Amino acid sequence: MERAQKVKDLGILFLLSAVILIWNNWSGSLTSWDEALYAQVSRGIFKSGNWIDLTWGGSQWADKPPLYFWMTAIFYKIFGINEFSARLFSSLCGVGTVIVVYLLALKLYSRQAAISAALVLLSTWHFIWASKVGMLDGAFTFFVILSLYLFKLGEERARYLFFCGPAFVLAFMIKGIGALLIPGIIFVYLLAASKLKILKTPALWWGIVVSLPVLIWWHWLVIAHYGKFFVDNYFLKHLLRRTGGAMEGHQGGFFTYFGVIPNKGRPWGAIGLLVLFIALARLFWKKEKSNLLLLVWIFLALLIFSAAKTKLHWYILPLYPALAILIGWGMEKMFKKRTIIVAVVLFATFIAYLSVDRKIFKLDYSPQGKELAVLVNNAVGGKEVILYNVGDPGVQFYLGKNSRNITGLDELLNYKNVFVILTQEHLAGLPQDKIQQVCRTKDFILIKIK
């Protein structure tokens, strides 16, 4: 394919994905729990200037690595503390994922398959949602596919293998041990393709040697500062407890994600699973190995996420680029020269459908928390506000301060002349003669303890 055509394709896909994945991200309100929590952790970096020790609600927090929060803190400096800044890194990574899907599909197949794959991904609801909220999995997915694309280039030109190490480290600095999915996919693919000798390439190991110190550096500093707290929360909580048990009630069976993909991955998810099994059948009966990397990628990720006891629908985001590329391959097989026309028509139809049915441009997830913050800030001015059994990070974020969350009634009643946010359920347990209701929303009430 001519270079000019490739540049034109990339330019169109960049603009199209930027519009869909960034448009209206400045509106509405953040999701509680994770999006607002990550936005507040990033605010802690921005306010304190401490880029090593992460905090939440004024206390130590060590659930995740720092890269996503670093990037969000930088965007806070540029655009201010708001929804747009909190979501921007995820959206930019989503745009990058669409671009790399095109490049990888072009490398594996053809221009028809590449354009189709990019448009399939860009009209998949689960991917759009993940790219338009300020959570980790959209960004993580970008570095997964970037690592695998660089590796695929490195099969022919060894110098690209050098960059696999930095891409893996960046994935690890976003999602932690989840990034081990990348070397797992590469190893199983090489084993299945009888290409293990690639692991002896010096460029691959030099890339790891150069980039690994960054990973070690941050972990070493945080362990030195937080000690056992960091080990318990960062390693044990997310390696042992999350995989060995269902944390916070997020449970499901081994085949849970086979239901999630057709539902959350609409309108392409069910088609993707069908094409997946067609590709698997062609591998076994026709020895067609052109899809081998994608098959290993999908099945290994499904196996790992399905085996883990904690189930959250966004865990499977890294599967969608591979499924999209497989669908692009299948569309080229079916529609031949008309593939791009069919892909464009389906893309336009599905975006229109998702705009109406799934409201992909309406991002108002916790309006009550945002409304409450406006009322509270107008009522109390700059005075301290205490939260009583309110763990909602959306409330914290929109209040614009780190308010203490108290869970004990006796401790709460020790305070005098302070403002408190609580729910109707907890209001009933307070001595009514010692409180004054100031304002309320549907979910929360602001009181003043006399």
Q: Are residues 351 and 391 in the same domain?
A: no
**What's the CA gap between 168 and 208, in Å, rounded?**
9
pLDDT single digits (tens) 217-245:
999 999 998 988 888 888 777 666 666 65
- Specify if 212 maps to a domain: yes
pLDDT single digits (tens) 124-134:
999 999 999 99
Domain range for residue 294? 3-357
Q: Which residues of 270-301 are buried (b: 16+ CB within 10 A; e: fewer)?
A: ebbbebbeebeebbeeeeeeebbbbbbbbbbb
Domain limit, last residue, from 308, 334, 357: 357
**What's the CA gap between 401 and 388, in Å, rounded?**
15
Amino acid at 100: V
What pLDDT score does 183 carry? 97
- Specify if 362 maps to a domain: no
Q: Are residues 129 and 182 in the same domain?
A: yes
Q: Are residues 306 and 263 in the same domain?
A: yes
Ranges of the chain with pLDDT below 70: 1, 238-250, 402
Instruction: Give me the number of domains the chain comprises.
Output: 2
Q: Are residues 314 and 418 in the same domain?
A: no
pTM metric for this prediction: 0.95
Q: Are residues 32 and 86 in the same domain?
A: yes
Q: Are residues 35 and 91 in the same domain?
A: yes
Q: Are residues 143 and 235 in the same domain?
A: yes
Domain limit, last residue, from 331, 357, 383: 357
Q: Which two tokens stand for residue 351?
A: 């975006």
Residue 52 phi, psi (nearest 5): -110, -50
What pLDDT score does 381 carry? 79
Domain limit, last residue, from 357, 380, 412: 357
Q: Are residues 254 and 372 in the same domain?
A: no
